[in-house]
Copies of this chain bind each other. A is one copy, B any other.
Amino acid sequence: MESQELTPRERLLASARKEFLARGFQNGSLRRICAGAGMTTGAVYFFFENKEDLFCSLVRETAEQMEQMMEEMTEWELERPETGVDSDVRLMEFLYFHREEVLLLHECARGTRYEGFMEEMYDRMRSAFLVFFQKYGAEDADRELIRILAEMRIRANLELLKGDYSMEQAMDLTRQIGIYADGGFRSLTAAMRKEKENREEK
């Protein structure tokens, strides 16, 4: 075994993670964080610049990896869109591995520089979605519709994260959501094509 004892910095981070997850960045209290780490309030400022820096230290790495991953996945998807479901599973694995940090970014970052980070991620996913749609379905699909469908899928996966599932369960559910989404997609493109024909007949 490596070391049961956490360094003070680690204790601080752990306590902060808990507090921010429970109350968000703005409503999280440094006092409570420090108390939870067995320190006095001032101690934070030895390890971190300020409250925001403490928060960022929790999510920075995860955010960077996520950004990079998203970049890779966007490229792939542009080249070989049929990998969509695999990507989904891979993404989900990542999210699950960094569960708490992702939740911090997703729901607790208001007031920090990561406030808009997830929204940005969602935008990229939406872009990939758009490409996919245009290539395999309805070239003239409403951009807003796509935005929303993308959002739906992302949110579904994040909801999964909030629940208390085992990795296996989560993956299983992810796959089923994938099936659902694909079916939904086909239905929608079919409907759109039919509508288009109707319009053209006139």
Please list the residues of chain A having a beta carbon within 8 angstroms of any beta carbon in chain B: 26-27, 142, 144-145, 147-149, 151-153, 155-156, 159-160, 163, 165, 169, 173, 176-177, 179-188, 190-191
Q: Which 4 A-B pairs have the closest CB atoms?
A: A183-B187, A184-B184, A180-B184, A152-B156
A-B contacts, 16 listed (Cβ < 8 Å): A26-B27, A144-B163, A144-B165, A148-B173, A149-B156, A149-B180, A152-B156, A176-B188, A176-B191, A179-B187, A180-B185, A182-B184, A183-B183, A183-B184, A183-B187, A183-B190
B residues in contact with A152, CB < 8 Å: 152-153, 155-156, 159, 177
Q: Determine the residue in chain B with the shortest Cβ distance to A169.
A: B144
Q: How many copies of this chain does the complex contain?
A: 4
Instruction: Please give, as numbers and ranges, the residues of chain B lying within 8 Å of A188 by CB-CB distance.
Output: 176, 179-180, 183
Contact A149 B177 (CB under 8 A): yes
Identify which of B145, B163, B185 contacts A173 (C-beta below 8 A).
Answer: B145
Q: How far is the CB of A199 from chain B (nearest CB, A)?
A: 15
- Chain B residues positioned under 8 Å from A179 (CB to CB): 184, 187-188, 191
Closest to A175 in B: B191
Q: How far is the CA of A190 from the CA of B179 in the complex (A)?
A: 10
B176/A145 in contact, CB under 8 A: yes
